Chain A
Amino acid sequence: MIQFQYTRATAAKAALDAISRDKTAMFIAGGTNLVDLMKRGIVSPERLIDISRLPLTDITTEGKSLKIGSLALNSTVAENKTVQQKQPLLVQALNAGASAQIRNMATVGGNMLQRTRCHYFYDTALPCNKREPGSGCGALEGFNRMHAIFGFSEKCIAVHPSDMSVALVALDATVVVDGPKGQRRIPFIDFHRLPGDRPEIDTNLLPGELILGVEIPDNRFAKNVHYLKVRDRASYAFALVSVAAALQIEKKVIRDARLALGGVAHKPWRLSEAERALVGKPVSESTFREVAQLAMKGAKGFKYNEYKLKLTPNAIIQALKVASKLV
């Protein structure tokens, strides 16, 4: 790892000041992804601003929403009684991610900002438009078993690796940030972006901005949620496909639904059309089969990830069956 300067911020304002003065600086919190990337020479900031001790760790209920500080640890959020009661889908998604040790280190803000695990992004000897714009996409014609089936571009077919973010996009979360433009609120669905011509930019967070936290509006899904993660081993592996499903069911009829996918796109992939198609329908396997087909509209596979075109609808059906307690 190349040498860098280290600054510890004790207040959010100081952190914002420090990053505005040094364009080559980066924030570090849990470090579980950034330290890894720095060791491999994929990112090399000249200064790290340690924000891990900022007072942004609170988990509170305010009005009709749950507020989670950006520096709350993944394990703290998953073990929090209020989160377990109000947003069990988020808890399931958090516990499906990484390992117990990493969840003890990783923060909510850092989880959202983690980079893709595409092998071409990680191997500095290979081309990657995300790591080195203009160098080409190695995965497009290469080993693309883990890659996107939705929303990709010719420049990049990588997927976003976060489980937590799949639950947050399904649950209509809002990201609260502070920065040069002052505080602003970003709907979670607009936080991550598709690769387009600029795959090196993962999110719509502006330079110098700091994530303060996320807010999740209360909902009536708590009884019928499921986060299904399909991966190469039973635990501690990134998703091939994951599904976040949340249903509000009254007398065996679906009244409201939220559905999102992980492991299939450059961003957590919300399935709004499929959600609308679920509303008013009876809880049944045939309903779920129809909706799963609808969800796959526009999907396209590459040489080694065509299996996802079958796996994804099956995973959607299974997640909905478990959420609705059909199985």
Chain B
Amino acid sequence: MSKINSRDQQSGESKSDSRRDFLKQSAVLTGAVLTPSIALKAAEAQWDEKLAEALEKIPLKLEVNGVSKSLMVEPRVTLLDLLREQLNLTGTKKGCDYGQCGACTVHVNGTRVLSCLTLAVMQDGRKVTTIEGLAEGDQLHPMQEAFLKHDGFQCGYCTPGQIMSAIACIREGHADSEEEIREYMSGNICRCGAYPNIVNAIVEVKKGGKKV
């Protein structure tokens, strides 16, 4: 504690309620319990604060819905939180945040994954497609059209994940029967119970034979 105080005095900073100060104080108060992050180590070692902050974030290049992005992220940020909080793409939903519901399903390099269990930094250089990236201008994706036509939702919260998963289900070649669709869509939970209509929508898109 005294080290930090003396450093603050030297730099002439007044005590602020910034996150950095909070972290520093937390480090001192609960240092035995918390695992030190770089920032905390920096505080202990009296490193330059700006350097510590820069070290915490890692550069990340992603192509999101066809647009190249150069970003800085903390390694602990999930792809889901990056999309929603930093890129304002809130179409991808946070349902359980623990990989149990499928609401956060997106495509990475064309395959469906759970963005809530994906660390954004691990996807460096890859192409991410979210529900916002499906339509071409005003022209909805065939799966979006089919969900509307078959009433494949009630509250709509699981729908972006359902649609991303449904497209992948056809691409993977696992939409050849209603039974197969149900099995390969089981990672997307719908609390409203729109399952029969979701299956009908997928069957129709599959039968329609359009490229998805």
Q: Is B truly associated with A?
A: yes
Q: Which residues of A contact B78 (CB under 8 A)?
A: 35
Q: Which residues of B contact A243 (CB under 8 A)?
A: none
B98 touches A39 (CB 8 A): yes
B187 touches A3 (CB 8 A): no
Please provide the chain A residues from 30 to 53 with a CB less than 8 Å away from any CB of chain B in the complex: 31-32, 35-36, 38-40, 44-46, 48, 50, 52
B118 touches A35 (CB 8 A): yes
Please provide the chain B residues from 1 to 50 with a CB less than 8 Å away from any CB of chain A in the complex: 34-40
* Cβ of B170 to closest chain A Cβ, rounded Å: 12
The residue in B39, B105, B112, B174 that gathers the most chain A C-beta atoms within 10 A of its C-beta is B112
Q: Which residues of A contact B124 (CB under 8 A)?
A: 8
A104 beta carbon closer than 8 Å to chain B = yes
Task: Assess A3 versus B76: contact at CB under 8 Å? Given A36-B98, A99-B187, A101-B165.
Answer: yes
**Closest B residue to A45 using CB positions:** B35
**A68–B108 Cα gap in the complex (Å)?**
23
A2 touches B112 (CB 8 A): no
B36 touches A46 (CB 8 A): yes
**A52–B125 Cα gap in the complex (Å)?**
14
B: contact size bracket: 35 or more
B113 beta carbon closer than 8 Å to chain A = yes
B75 touches A48 (CB 8 A): yes
**Chain B 150-188: CB-based contact to A (< 8 A → 1; otherwise 0):** 000000000000000100110010100000001111111
B118 touches A31 (CB 8 A): yes
The residue in A3, A98, A105 that gathers the most chain B C-beta atoms within 10 A of its C-beta is A3
**A142–B184 Cα gap in the complex (Å)?**
34
A201 beta carbon closer than 8 Å to chain B = no
B119 touches A28 (CB 8 A): yes
A286 beta carbon closer than 8 Å to chain B = no
Task: Assess A31 versus B76: contact at CB under 8 Å? Given A4-B37, A46-B36, A104-B111.
Answer: no
* Cβ of B126 to closest chain A Cβ, rounded Å: 11
Number of A-B contacts (CB under 8 A): 99
A: contact size bracket: 20 to 34
Q: Which residues of A contact B169 (CB under 8 A)?
A: 100
B187 touches A101 (CB 8 A): yes
A102 beta carbon closer than 8 Å to chain B = yes
A35 touches B117 (CB 8 A): yes
**A38–B116 Cα gap in the complex (Å)?**
12
A326 beta carbon closer than 8 Å to chain B = no
B63 beta carbon closer than 8 Å to chain A = no
Task: Assess A2 versus B34: contact at CB under 8 Å? Given A98-B187, A104-B111, A104-B112.
Answer: yes
Q: Which residues of B contact A236 (CB under 8 A)?
A: 186-187
Task: Pick from B35, B39, B99, B168: contact of A102, CB below 8 A.
Answer: B99
**A73–B168 Cα gap in the complex (Å)?**
16
B99 touches A32 (CB 8 A): yes
**A279–B184 Cα gap in the complex (Å)?**
37
Task: Pick from A38, A50, A100: contact of B187, CB below 8 A.
Answer: A100
B119 touches A36 (CB 8 A): no
Task: Pick from A24, A31, A46, A100: contact of B117, CB below 8 A.
Answer: A31
B72 beta carbon closer than 8 Å to chain A = no
**Closest B residue to A7 using CB positions:** B75
Task: Pick from A1, A3, A24: contact of B39, CB below 8 A.
Answer: A3
* Cβ of B166 to closest chain A Cβ, rounded Å: 11
**A140–B62 Cα gap in the complex (Å)?**
47
Please provide the chain B residues from 42 to 78 with a CB less than 8 Å away from any CB of chain A in the complex: 56, 58, 74-76, 78
Task: Assess A6 versus B111: contact at CB under 8 Å? Given A35-B119, A36-B117, A100-B174.
Answer: no
**Closest B residue to A38 using CB positions:** B76
Task: Assess A1 versus B76: contact at CB under 8 Å? Given A44-B35, A101-B102.
Answer: yes
B186 touches A99 (CB 8 A): yes
A36 touches B99 (CB 8 A): yes
Residues of chain B whose beta carbon lies under 8 Å from any beta carbon of chain A: 34-40, 56, 58, 74-76, 78, 97-99, 102, 105, 111-114, 117-119, 121-122, 124, 165, 168-169, 172, 174, 182-188
Identify 5 new A-B residue pairs, CB closer than 8 A, beyond the known A3-B75, A31-B117.
A1-B76, A45-B35, A48-B75, A100-B187, A104-B112
Query: Can you report 12 residue pairs joining A to B where beta carbons are below 8 Å apart?
Result: A2-B35, A3-B37, A5-B75, A6-B58, A32-B99, A36-B98, A39-B97, A39-B98, A75-B111, A100-B169, A101-B105, A236-B186
Which 5 pairs, one residue from A and one from B, show the smallest C-beta to C-beta distance? A99-B187, A3-B37, A235-B186, A6-B75, A236-B186
